[in-house]
Copies of this chain bind each other. A is one copy, B any other.
Amino acid sequence: MLSERRLQVLRAIVQDYVGTEEPVGSKALTERHNLGVSPATVRNDMAALEDEGYIAQPHTSAGRIPTDKGYRLFVDKLAGVKPMTAPERRAIQNFLEGAVDLDDVVARTVRLLAQLTRQVAVVQYPSLTRSTVRHVELLSLAPARVMLVLITDTGRVEQRMVDCPAPFGEASLADLRARLNSRVAGRRFADVPKLVEDLPDAFDPEDRGTVSTVLSTLLETLVEENEERLMIGGTANLTRFGHDFPLTIRPVLEALEEQVVLLKLLGEAKDPGVTVRIGHENAHEGLNSTSVVSVGYGSGGEAVAKLGVVGPTRMDYPGTMGAVRAVARYVGQILAES
């Protein structure tokens, strides 16, 4: 167990290192923070912290920098979430309120997050799986060709073409449309399969094949999780990453292009509050020197998607967490209103 003062020292090291980007030594520490002890004492504490694996030195006779473990302790125990100031909150709200549709909300959110945190922002589109159906529309494009349009409560629209096994009359189509909507409108995606299970039975035998085809396409659309899209922004902030560029930045850019990777990354954060994954805690090795700060957001009390930022492990955690949390909150409000 570490003494109170050693934790203070760790906190000071993290803060200084985040500010200066340079290894911090015992003398500088005592000068910048009034710890009330001499450099020599701090050195002892540092040695202890190093033994425990919270800090490390790049080379002998250089200052110390926090390890992933050190940041973890800092985030868990030593730092709170820095709340946004009132003007900042107003700015967030104003900026998001100008959005005209879902795409715009997401786009603005990305820009905002990137700007506030000066890091790379990632915003997942409100996910289908937890949403509810607003409306299902069926359009006959050709005798045996139907277009299915699914509209969700978050305003998202998905469309699919359906090739019917047999021609399908307008009357039948209207019938199906009506029955379908009366059953699923307003219901959660997860509940839809059961609700439409026996729907084909209500139709003439020759139409049942088509009805089944349409329904299965609808169900596919609902569960199709790889349709989960996301938007990223602020990649230019990667240039502030470190001095040893190409090596650091390349794998990160590569990881950011793999939507699958990012989705998994966001998906792993189960915490109801702000989640922080530091350095090697991220499964993807391209992100081993980055931290991901993420949080769920949603229109109601429930989270329907995640958003977050990706930045160097050496980041301002309290500030970033505060920004992420605040943005998520306001996006939720905006979504609830629309």
List chain A positions with a Cβ less than 8 A from chain B.
Answer: 101, 134-135, 137, 139, 141, 147, 149, 151, 155, 157, 159-161, 233-236, 238-239, 245-246, 249-250, 253-254, 256-257
Contacts and interface: CB of A to CB of B under 8 A. Distances in A.
Given A137-B149, A149-B149, A245-B245, 7 more contacts: A151-B159, A155-B159, A157-B159, A235-B257, A236-B253, A236-B257, A239-B246
A206 B268 CA distance: 54
A230 B167 CA distance: 37
A239 B235 contact: no
Q: Which one of A135, A234, A253 has the highest number of Cβ atoms from chain B below 10 Å of its Cβ?
A: A253
Contacts of A160: 101
Contact of A157 (B157, B250, B257): B157
Contacts of A159: 151, 155, 157
A112 B151 CA distance: 31
A257 B239 CA distance: 14
A160 B103 CA distance: 12
A139 B157 contact: no
Contacts of A239: 245-246, 249-250, 253
Nearest to A251: B236
A155 B135 CA distance: 19
Contacts of A253: 235-236, 238-239
A241 to B, nearest CB: 9
Contacts of A161: 155
A139 B133 CA distance: 14
23 contacts: A135-B141, A137-B137, A137-B149, A139-B151, A147-B151, A149-B149, A149-B151, A151-B159, A155-B159, A157-B157, A157-B159, A235-B235, A235-B253, A235-B257, A236-B250, A236-B253, A236-B257, A239-B245, A239-B246, A239-B249, A239-B250, A245-B246, A249-B249
Contact of A135 (B135, B139, B236): B139
A234 B257 contact: yes
Contacts of A137: 137, 139, 149
A134 B169 CA distance: 19
Contacts of A139: 135, 137, 151
A157 B157 CA distance: 8
Nearest to A110: B257
B147 A135 contact: yes
A233 B253 CA distance: 10
Contacts of A245: 239, 245-246
